[in-house]
Structure formats: C-alpha cells, structure tokens
A = this chain, B = another copy of it.
C-alpha cells in the first residue's frame, strides 16, 4: 500500500543520512534513546495518525464547528483522535521523563508530529496550540501557575490557546485595546475582545487556558506596554478542582475557507466585569514572552504547510501513476493504449516541482528542529549560542517559505487531478484551502519579510548570517568532491555571492536611515533569501544521495536518483530565477513604493 502522510524512506533519509539524529543519543539528555526508540515513536505516530486522524479529515471540513448555546460543538471523531494522541504521549514528546514525557529530541517530536499535520491539520491544531501554551507557562510562569495550569495541560486535561488579535489590531499588536486592571488579590480583571482565536472553545478538555495579551493601566504606549495573562475558561481552585466559569464568552465562530475543523473564535473577556487573569512574567514584557512561543509556533506552522504540501504531492503522484489519459506527443496514434499521465512531460514537471518544494522544505523544517535541539542541549555554550543565532535568522524562512511554495505545490496537485481535483470528492482541493491559512496566521508573509530584512539579518551583529554563509560555503566545498554535482553547486554559489552583496548594500542603506525605501521590496528579498536557503538544503541532500548511490545499495538507487533529480530541478530551474529579484533590489526599484492610493 502506498504511503499517504509522508514517505517514511524520505524521513529515514532526513533523520539518519542528512541530519544525523543518532548523534543526539550521545547527549546526556537523550542517552536512553537510540535509533530503535526513535523509530518506534515514529511508527506509533504514523499508526495513530492513519487510524484516528486521517479518516475524519474531510468530515472535519464538511461539518465545521457549530455554535450552540454559547459553546462550540465539534464532530465526534475529534475527541477520540486527540485522546489517542494524548495517550500515546505525543503532547509531551519532548518533555522530561520525570514530567511524564518521552524526553525525545525536538527533531524527533517534530518528525512524529508531522504525521498528524499531514493526516488532519485541523484536529492536530488542538494539541499543537496546547503544547505552545504549555511551553510558555513552563518558561515564564510562577511555580504556582505551573502547578495550577501547566500540570493539568501536561496531563492533557486542560488545553491552551494564544489570544493576540483584536478586531482592529492583527499585525499591529501595539494597538491592542484589551485592558487588565489589578485586583486586590494580586490577580487581574481583563476587559476586551479578541478574534481569530484558534481553539478558543471546544469540548475536548476540562478547561481551556487562554494566554492573553492585554495592557496594564500604567502601560507605556506601543509594544513595550503589552503584558501577558493566563485567563482560564474555568477558574481553578487551590486543590486543582474546577471552580466557577470565568467571564470569558464565546461571542461567535468564524467560517473559514479551509482548516475548518479548528474552531476560530471571537472571545469577549470581561463583558460582565469579572474576567480573572493572572500575570505571566513581568509587567509590559508580554510580547517578548509571546514571541518565544510564536517562534516555536512559526516553525510548527512552517512544518504544517510542508505536510499539507506533502499530502497533496503523494496523492497526486499516486493518481498520476494510475490515471491513463492521452498519448505522448510523438505517438498520437489512437490505436495505441493511453499512457498513465505521469508519462506526460508537464505532469512530470508539476510532480518534480512539488517534490522539490515539499522535500526541500521538509528538510529545512527538520533542520530547524535539529537546531532547536542544539539551542537546548548543544555540547557547549558556544554551540547553543550559535544555534540560537542561526535559528533566529532562519525562522522567517522556515515559516514563510513552505507557506508560499507548498501552497503552490497544492495548487499543482489540483491541476494534476484536473476536473476531479476541483471536486470535493478528492482530497487535494481541501489541502489547498487548508494551506491557504499559513501565509496569513502567526505573522503574515509581509511581516515575515520585514522581520527578516529589518531585524534578523543585523541581529547579534549579523552572527546568524555569517554562520549561514559559512555553512553554505562548507556544503558547496563538500559538493566539490562529486563532479556530478558541479552543475548544481554553481548556481547556488552564484546566487549566494550576489545575495551577499545585495544584503550588504541593503543593510548599509538601513543603517543610513533609508528605512522605508530599503524595506519596500522585502518580499522580493525574502524570496531570493529563501531560495538560497532551500537551494543549500537541496545541495546537502544531493551530496547525501550521491554518497548513498556510491554505496551501491540497489534497492535504494531509485530513491537517490529521485533526490538528485529534484536537487537538479531546484538548483538549476528555480535558484537562477532569483537573480531577477536581486536585480530589482540592486537598483532599489521603487515602482511599487512610489505608487499612490489615488492612482489606483
């Protein structure tokens, strides 16, 4: 039977041939792990995803949550799926053994979670949001908050959300209006309205812990005046039992283009003046706490985009192999049998493009997870610091690149299925609709590009960028050992050389205060930067594939040849195209910036 969630051969390639997951078992924290325990966890994830998540993916879409008597009602299949996920321990895959976790490297927990994202993005969101919220409380909460809220989240009894957006303030969080007044007992009373809160209501857990951004009375204006609060749906008594319902009202549900199985809610805090919240971290520093969660969330969003792309790629690949239609251009005789459409050049192009996008960003997402492990358990402080710097730089790419290009992959999957792909009788149109959210939430594409060009490049004196350039150079150097890779290496070297020059020029302009003009074409910069990063990852994969081929394992030869072909596609068809964007950046073209509202 063909695989539908991801290629397990490709996952093994990533873990054991590209990213050296086994080396992690040398670290004290993972000493009790081995390739066997890793594979067992993955196998469990795949089984549960196939058995409990995939079967109701379409039903989730067709029966979106309903608002009934002030609560959100889901289809009955969601809870058993989430319960199976919890029971198998995936909510705490990366958490300490002592805390009831599997103590897996993030690389592995991410690899496990990828199966759920592929099988059912909507249902997977509930535990995903909970994991993020739990990590935030773990990092910034008081001991009492951990006891009262984190512990039941770890046990899977409480779920979590992050509540940032308001009707008038999404990208611009500095303008939020939700207020928090101190109460006599040390807690706070919140008042405000939040929208687009995913998982803001559902019947999957005893309680929901909202992490809410709000402003204290003495808050300075702007982002430096935002504080973070725990606001539970039900208050929690000292003994851990549930108390009264808090003053948090589900005002309504949003009806989305896709990702319909996850409730997107409008929440009113304090309509009755009695919404209790607890400050997390220091006053006015909520945004930096939230950003830690958002950085993790952005990697998760990126992987989610990858996995929707992956599901569509595998489905359209299988379809193309099995669907007979037409004949090749040079053998139009109608007497011959039709060929399967995978034989048509343009279908091959759409499949190879999908493979390049999906497997390229799958590699990057796992690479980022591996880096996250290095930030936590790297052998020295230097290693941890460097990993942190590089991960910070790469985060906008990890989030935005798959959101853009795996969405394109989904569009191609629809095209391969033709009229069938456009019907809801086949899954690919849903993958597209689900994936369309990813360039929007957790920071839009435009915000990511400003983050990259305006903040991340120059952060820490450009330490992350220097590392990246060095790592790419290192990969290019290793590629020189394989003559067959020359044609793949060169376009990457050319792009990176020019990208470096453009980057220097832009950073110089920024430092001279030409802010608006320099940031104007940040989306183009991000495209070229992202392609350089993915091109680098593909060259790395190509080296490993060439090495694998060299070992003469017959059974794997097709797999490695496919890797080399996809690397060739990406490095020779996609990477050189970015010189176009760089040329526009070089001449500081203001065609868009100088457009005026009244001219439209």
Interface set of A (CB-CB < 8 Å, partner B): 165, 168-172, 174-175, 195-196, 221-223, 225, 254-258, 264, 317, 321, 324-330, 332-335, 338, 340, 342-349, 351-352, 355, 411, 414-415, 418-419, 421-425, 429, 432-433, 436-437, 439-441, 444-446, 449-450, 454, 513, 515-516, 519-523, 558-559, 561-562, 565, 568-569, 572-573, 576-577, 579-580, 583-584, 589, 591-600
Contact = CB atoms under 8 A, between A and B. Distances in A.
A437 B344 CA distance: 21
B418 A255 contact: no
A450 B255 contact: no
B592 A334 contact: no
A219 to B, nearest CB: 10
Contact of A355 (B449, B572, B600): B600
Contacts of A523: 346, 349
Contacts of A577: 577, 580
Contacts of A449: 346
A299 B423 CA distance: 24
19 contacts: A165-B419, A171-B325, A171-B326, A175-B338, A222-B333, A222-B335, A255-B423, A256-B422, A257-B422, A340-B597, A345-B520, A349-B520, A352-B595, A415-B444, A565-B599, A569-B591, A573-B584, A573-B591, A576-B580
A419 B446 contact: no
Contacts of A429: 257, 436
B255 A425 contact: yes
A165 to B, nearest CB: 7
Given A317-B600, A335-B221, A516 B345 contact: yes
Contacts of A334: 174-175, 221-223, 225
A223 B580 CA distance: 43
Number of this chain's copies in the assembly equals 2
A209 B423 CA distance: 25
B595 A348 contact: yes
B600 A562 contact: yes
Nearest to A169: B325
B597 A342 contact: yes
Nearest to A597: B342
B599 A562 contact: yes
Contacts of A344: 446
Contacts of A222: 332-335
A265 B222 CA distance: 56
Given A255-B424, A424-B257, A600-B317, A419 B170 contact: yes
A394 B150 CA distance: 64
Nearest to A337: B175
A595 B558 CA distance: 11
A456 B330 CA distance: 17
A441 B589 CA distance: 38
A166 to B, nearest CB: 11
A515 B437 CA distance: 41
Contacts of A561: 596, 599
Contacts of A168: 324-325
A170 B325 contact: yes
A349 B258 CA distance: 26
Contacts of A349: 520-521, 523, 592
A60 to B, nearest CB: 16
A415 B355 contact: no
Given A254-B425, A579-B580, 10 more contacts: A223-B334, A317-B600, A330-B515, A342-B597, A344-B446, A411-B436, A418-B444, A558-B599, A565-B591, A573-B591
A580 B583 CA distance: 13
Nearest to A345: B520
Contact of A325 (B172, B433, B515): B172
A600 B10 CA distance: 11
A309 to B, nearest CB: 14
Contacts of A170: 325, 418-419
Given A254-B425, A573-B589, A327 B172 contact: yes
Contacts of A324: 168
Closest 6 CB pairs of A and B: A222-B334, A562-B599, A345-B520, A172-B326, A346-B446, A349-B592
